[in-house]
A and B are shown apart, each in its own frame.
Chain A
Amino acid sequence: AQSVTQPDIHITVSEGASLELRCNYSYGATPYLFWYVQSPGQGLQLLLKYFSGDTLVQGIKGFEAEFKRSQSSFNLRKPSVHWSDAAEYFCAVVPNTGNQFYFGTGTSLTVIP
């Protein structure tokens, strides 16, 4: 079945530490890939997206993500986390045969001083 998986429900990191949030998808062909961030009471903000080309994608707020076709993954990374990065992070895909967003269950990030 088609799916988007974010294995980590909740992650806690220290401020200044590196971060990696995992996302795996299960679709027949490489879909369009996205990472969104949602702060409490806020809408979803697009961090970055991958359509094709360079598999390492740079986004806003110092985030980057790497598409690995062999692993069907699109993990989000940040070298040094800031307290303001505490939020819910969603991976999303749009199959290249369709036009609907499919979201993962989200990863809640807590940043400790």
Chain B
Amino acid sequence: GAVVSQHPSWVICKSGTSVKIECRSLDFQATTMFWYRQFPKQSLMLMATSNEGSKATYEQGVEKDKFLINHASLTLSTLTVTSAHPEDSSFYICSARRSSGGFVDTQYFGPGTRLTVL
């Protein structure tokens, strides 16, 4: 089956520092990857859509300069939380869509990254 990994699985950082989260599709190519944020007891909220080789498309209300997304290859997308603050603490989940498939049935989710900003 299609596997999506995220690294790190959890991270603790000091306020003001930047944190990079990686999302990899391990056994398929993904032209599109998605980044979600999940607060406790809340649903996943789409932050941005990342397309390989082009700029990410951010959802309304998501700060582009704070959440930098890079999708430099067909198997890797990164989310960098710049100048992190305690309110950025959350669970970040990525998903990847197979290049060869349609949309709704070929999207696979990573295990998530727990970010805690002190």
Most A CB atoms within 10 A — which of B95, B103, B104, B107? B104
Q: Collect the chain A residues with CB atoms within 8 Å of residue B112's CB.
A: 41, 43
Q: Collect the chain A residues with CB atoms within 8 Å of residue B9's CB.
A: 41
Stretch at the interface among B13-21, B36-44, B68-76, B80-88: B36-44
Closest residue to A32 on the B side, CB-wise? Answer: B104
Q: Collect the chain B residues with CB atoms within 8 Å of residue A49's CB.
A: 104-105
Query: Within B63-118, which residues are at the interface with A (CB < 8 Å)?
Result: 93, 95, 103-105, 107-112
- Shortest beta-carbon distance from A78 to chain B in Å: 21
**Additional A-B contact list (7), CB under 8 Å, known A41-B112, A43-B112, A99-B103:** A9-B41, A41-B9, A42-B111, A43-B4, A43-B6, A99-B104, A105-B41
Q: Collect the chain B residues with CB atoms within 8 Å of residue A32's CB.
A: 104
A2-33 near B? 1/0 per residue, CB < 8 Å: 00100001000000000000000000000010
- Shortest beta-carbon distance from A1 to chain B in Å: 14
Query: Within A31-78, which residues are at the interface with B (CB < 8 Å)?
Result: 32, 36, 41-45, 49, 51
Closest residue to A3 on the B side, CB-wise? Answer: B43
Most B CB atoms within 10 A — which of A43, A45, A102, A104? A43
- Shortest beta-carbon distance from B91 to chain A in Å: 10
Q: How large is the interface on A (under 10, 10 to 19, 20 to 34, 35 or more residues)?
A: 20 to 34
Bound CA–CA A32/B41 (angstroms): 24
Q: Which 10 A-B pairs have the closest CB atoms?
A: A44-B109, A103-B43, A43-B111, A43-B109, A103-B44, A105-B43, A32-B104, A99-B103, A43-B110, A94-B104
- Shortest beta-carbon distance from A103 to chain B in Å: 4
Bound CA–CA A71/B6 (angstroms): 38
B28-48 near A? 1/0 per residue, CB < 8 Å: 000000100000011111100
A43 engages B46 (CB within 8 Å): no
Closest residue to B42 on the A side, CB-wise? Answer: A105
A97 contacts chain B at the CB level, 8 A cutoff: no
Q: Collect the chain A residues with CB atoms within 8 Å of residue B45's CB.
A: 103
